[in-house]
Amino acid sequence: LAKTTQPISMDSYEGQEVNITCSHNNIATNDYITWYQQFPSQGPRFIIQGYKTKVTNEVASLFIPADRKSSTLSLPRVSLSDTAVYYCLVGDRGQSNYQLIWGAGTKLIIKP
Amino acid sequence: ETGVTQSPTHLIKTRGQQVTLRCSSQSGHNTVSWYQQALGQGPQFIFQYYREEENGRGNFPPRFSGLQFPNYSSELNVNALELDDSALYLCASSFVGGVEAFFGQGTRLTVV
């Protein structure tokens, strides 16, 4: 089963770029890497998804090296409202189950 | 707003009781997943349904069961409630094979 590892917490300041790295050593060939954002007492919200190299959307970029054993979520010019928990998700197809494995999450705190 | 609604939003049950949580998927989505999220932890995958059939299950005992209906709405049933079942239960809908999922706001279950 894939296992993900993320930093427990990070601090940054408004206007800075924030990079959060997730390790997933046993990612399967057909699996995608997805990042979610979660505010307190709310369900997670999709941020970005990728398979390899680089993906960019209107809110973030995702960098995935060739071996796909890690990924980095990049948030440009963060604001106070980006304070949240960020989760790295990989699909993991085991022998008989399809389990969606979430990391423990990174609590990002943005300071003024 | 994700289009995924869960009911009830909060619930208090007594140990040993049974509970049913409900989820209405986003229009057009045929896959629903359920997660348990304990306070301060990441979501833990319970199971996933596709076209009314369970097609993936996490490490949860059989007293956690589910249903998906023809309209793709879903239920999570938990029998013989234990104190450790106290958590936020999240429902997420998606297209088949899609990792991007749209989460509801969750049901906060407290077992006393």
* Average pLDDT rounded to a whole number, residues A94-98: 55
How high is the pLDDT of residue A97? 56
Reported as a single tens digit per residue, the pLDDT across A34-43 is: 899 999 888 9
Q: Confirm if B46 and B58 have CB atoms less than 8 A apart.
A: yes
With a cut of 90, say whether residue B99 has pLDDT above it.
Answer: no
- From chain A, pick out residues whose CB is under 8 angstroms from the CB of B100: 34, 46, 49
Q: How confident is the model at residue B34 (pLDDT cuts 50, 70, 90)?
A: very high
Which one of A89, A97, A99 has the shortest CB-CB distance to B99?
A89
How high is the pLDDT of residue B27? 78
Q: How confident is the model at residue A96 (pLDDT cuts 50, 70, 90)?
A: low
Residues B42, A105: C-beta atoms closer than 8 Å:
yes
Judged by a CB distance cut-off of 8 A, whether residue A98 touches chain B is yes
Burial annotation B79-89 (CB, 10 A radius, 16+ → b, else e): eebeeebbbbb
> What is the arrangement of strands in the sheet containing A53-56, beginning at the earlier edge strand?
A4-5, A18-24, A70-75, A61-64, A53-56
Residues A46, B104: C-beta atoms closer than 8 Å:
no
